[in-house]
Amino acid sequence: MSFRKFITSKSFFIHLSLIILSFILLLVLALQALKIYTRHGDEFVVPDIKGRLIQDIEQMDEMSKFEIVVIDSIYQEDAVSGSILSQEPVANSKAKKGRKIYITIASFSGDDLTMPNCTDVSLRTAVQTLTDLGLRIGNISFVTGDIPNIVTAQKQNGKPIRTNSEVKRGSVIDLVVEMGENNTTTYMPDILGKTEAEAEKLLWSNGLNVGTKTFDGKRDRQHSRVVSYTPTFKGLTLGTTVSLHFINDNKNSYKKSLRKFEEQLILEQNEYEDISDENSEW
């Protein structure tokens, strides 16, 4: 039988149909097997566990479908020890049974730490080191010296604290920093819209002290954000104390207050430049 007659014969089409049907059947079986293997469609809503105590969520029926993994422990002065600060996946997302839920919890206050060496390093480095450990910056004072911006002493409760000595998490550490005779000023960093921790770190790193903090509504380390501060000068003397006002970014008044203060800063800056121009003419 010639090839042309074979491909036009009834037998060829029967075999071709069987091959196609077999391929479709294998494909369907493979997809079903993959669906079963990956538990496709077997998804559950991830509950909101932020703010709850880790020992409490272990008893929740909704969490029995997931595995909890603690990836970090962070000290926050206003957070309850053992409470959950963040979760991944986020609340109300969908995940398969057995999925790991990664959480960060508030560390237990009073943990013993080893005091790091913050002398003979820059102020910015000292602030980073202390805050990373869960320690806070108290008063930053300045003395005239040969090497500007270098920390010369670290203190606690007015007394020097030695490197490697025991210190409690959350303790306040004061720093003494050198400044040059002709370099006694710093600038106000951009702290508008920043959280409390972010604003404090920026101020400390720029040689400024944190003063009174007021909050419009409940204090929230993640959602309370800076909407105004005093003093409002761009250039400030090193060691100046800055007062901060916060509003929760979920409140309707947040953006309005932020814009109002930004407009105030622009107006004050324009007035300052006008006065400077007038003085320069004289």
Total number of domains in the chain: 3
Residue 25 forms part of a structural domain: no
Point out the residues of the chain with pLDDT beneath 50.
Answer: 275-282
pLDDT digits (tens, 9 = 90+) for 162-174: 999 999 888 899 9
The whole-number pLDDT of residue 282 equals: 42
CATH of the domain at 101: 3.30.10.20
Q: Same domain, yes or no, for 247 and 261?
A: yes
Residue 6 forms part of a structural domain: no
Beta partners for 88? Answer: 102
Q: Same domain, yes or no, for 200 and 216?
A: yes
pLDDT digits (tens, 9 = 90+) for 96-147: 888 889 998 887 656 788 999 999 999 999 999 999 888 899 999 999 998 9
Q: Same domain, yes or no, for 239 and 262?
A: yes
Residue 254 forms part of a structural domain: yes
Query: At which of 158, 183, 208 does a domain end?
Result: 183
- Domain span at 271: 184-275
